[in-house]
Amino acid sequence: MAYDATTAGHRPVVDLADRRALERWRPAEPEVVEEARRLKEAALLDFGLTESVVASWIYAKCPQQIPTTAVATAAVVASGDGTCPLLYNPEFFVRLGLAGVKFVLFHEARHLVHRHLFADPELREDPLFTLAAEVSINHVALVRLGRTGLPVLDGAPTGVDPHEVHRDYAADLTDQGLEPLGYDDFVETDMTVFNELKRMKHPPTPPVAVCAHLADPGAGADQETIDETVSSALLNTLLAARRGHPGAEQELLDLMDRTDGTSEHASKVWGRLGAGTLRGETARTGKVDWWQRWLVDVLATKLREGERLVYPKKRGALLAALGHDPMLSRRGAEREKVLVIAYDTSGSMPDWVVEWLTKLVGEIDGVSAHWLSFDGVVMPFRPGERVYGGGGTSFQAVADYVEGRTAVGGVPFEETADAVVMLTDGYAPHITPAEPDKWIWLITEGGDDWPDHHTPQMACHRVTTGDR
């Protein structure tokens, strides 16, 4: 997925998954590499500060960022081993300057999001869809980054100009005696661009290699890796939004407006993420249960205090100039949040609930998860392991362990939990934990949701356990 409009048609000259080969291949002058790296870091820090929380998270999940002349421009490659290296040509970045580098990095990150939301192979094979993606990505980049034009390289704008494509489209439709949409309606969603381009009698052919790697699936667009990286970035952006980060909320809402409901797959992705809570709506697909959205929301609240996504107050270019890695800023001094998930082996929690929760928890950055199974006693377990129930059920056993009064196999729980999720049918003597506001109860169907009307009341929701 390379931002590539100037040197079209070039196939990669080395294996893009081979980091050493990439760095060895005709390296640029050291001072060019250094300047390019500085520009890249300054751009990424600006994303985190103000411009694109989503892109900031995506690059945080692409820690390999490799200057190489083996690509003509820049590309985020999703390789089969689950990593997403960013490859960038240092000379290209230096010629672009900071504004241009930001545009290109935003463009590349957005490609991954686009690919995640519109994964349908039939769409992907349509060259017009490729062009439509360029149009909508560049439209969003212009708006989001507050630009009036594409980045300029050697005096000429580079990339697909959405306004130009729209002018051609309007002329084509007018020639056919049809009514074209105005620019704003034309670019309203990612799919309107595609659908409107299809109405053209002579649709424009995309520049040969607008995105070299998209045209060459062998060169690194592994769908699973893209899905993993992007869904994790979106989830963390959603959590940041729920914790009160206005930039994250705005960007996510914009992105949802452009994509949710425009394809079945996109709606499913948003529904699964539980992002409906952001705008107080149910996703259009009926498949996602309310409790899942509810849990994402509640977790965000419980894990809030001590915001981990800490941005430095001063402009990041300064930090970058001093040689600091801008990504450090998001680690901050904040300790990891501790999440306990306790699973009642006497209840009948379907496997998919545990699987879903495992994936969700695994994708939340800055959280360490402790999984417990319990009946009358507590046993730590790893998700995926079989857990066996014994006799009796005791919530108190969980509270005693989590609050440090008992040990398992002689080992006490030495952390302070920020949130405790209880998966249970609710049938056991009621308890009042030391910090009830940290407890979240997920009750199986037919179970007893007493924590909902306990004093003090605790976060509680019924899990729908029907067919999946």
> Count of residues binding Zn ion (CB under 5 A)?
1
Spell out, one character per residue from 260 to 289, where the chain touches Zn ion: x when CB under 5 A holds, - when not: ------------------------------
Question: Do 128 and 200 contact (CB within 8 A), yes or no?
Answer: no
**Angle formed by the axes of helices 223-242 and 290-302, nearest 10°:** 60
Q: Which of 211, 320 has the CB closer to Zn ion?
A: 211
3-class SS at 54? helix
Q: Which of 5, 33 has the CB closer to Zn ion?
A: 5
Q: What is the DSSP string of 110-175?
A: HHHHHHHH---HHHHH-HHHHHHHHHHHHHHHHHHTT-SS--EETTEE-S--HHHHHHHHHHHHHH
Q: Could you give the C-alpha distances from 246 to 52, 237, 243, 304, 328, in angstroms and in order?
A: 11, 11, 9, 14, 21
Quote the least distance from Cβ 275 to Zn ion, whole Å. Answer: 25
Quote the least distance from Cβ 95 to Zn ion, whole Å. Answer: 18
Binding of Zn ion by 28 (CB under 5 A): no
Quote the least distance from Cβ 134 to Zn ion, whole Å. Answer: 5
Q: Which of 101, 211 has the CB closer to Zn ion?
A: 211
Quote the least distance from Cβ 150 to Zn ion, whole Å. Answer: 12
Quote the least distance from Cβ 225 to Zn ion, whole Å. Answer: 18
Question: Do 204 and 131 contact (CB within 8 A), yes or no?
Answer: yes
Spell out, one character per residue from 338 to 367, where the chain touches Zn ion: x when CB under 5 A holds, - when not: ------------------------------
Quote the least distance from Cβ 201 to Zn ion, whole Å. Answer: 25
Quote the least distance from Cβ 93 to Zn ion, whole Å. Answer: 16
Question: Do 237 and 248 contact (CB within 8 A), yes or no?
Answer: yes
Quote the least distance from Cβ 4 to Zn ion, whole Å. Answer: 7
Spell out, one character per residue from 161 to 200, where the chain touches Zn ion: x when CB under 5 A holds, - when not: ----------------------------------------
Q: Whose CB is nearest to Zn ion?
A: 211
**To which H or E segment does residue 258 belong?**
helix 246-259
Q: How far apart are the first and last CA of the chain?
A: 34
Q: Which of 211, 340 has the CB closer to Zn ion?
A: 211
Question: Do 319 and 45 contact (CB within 8 A), yes or no?
Answer: yes
Q: Which of 53, 211 has the CB closer to Zn ion?
A: 211
Residue type, 247: G
Spell out, one character per residue from 195 to 234, where the chain touches Zn ion: x when CB under 5 A holds, - when not: ----------------x-----------------------
Residue from 93, 85, 33, 79 nearest 58 by CA: 85
Q: Which of 76, 94 has the CB closer to Zn ion?
A: 76
Rounded Cα gap, residues 206 and 198, in angstroms:
13
**To which H or E segment does residue 86 belong?**
strand 86-88
Residue type, 406: T
Q: Which of 10, 370 has the CB closer to Zn ion?
A: 10
Tokens read off for 62: 């692409």
The greatest distance separating any two alpha carbons of the chain, rounded to the nearest whole angstrom, comes to 81
3-class SS at 213? coil
Rounded Cα gap, residues 400 and 405, in angstroms:
5
Instruction: For 410, list phi and psi in degrees, rounded to 5.
Output: 85, -5
Quote the least distance from Cβ 153 to Zn ion, whole Å. Answer: 15
Binding of Zn ion by 132 (CB under 5 A): no
Quote the least distance from Cβ 187 to Zn ion, whole Å. Answer: 16
Radius of gyration of the chain (CA): 25
Q: Which of 8, 178 has the CB closer to Zn ion?
A: 8
Q: Which of 94, 221 has the CB closer to Zn ion?
A: 221
Binding of Zn ion by 86 (CB under 5 A): no
Per CB under 5 A, residues contacting Zn ion are: 211
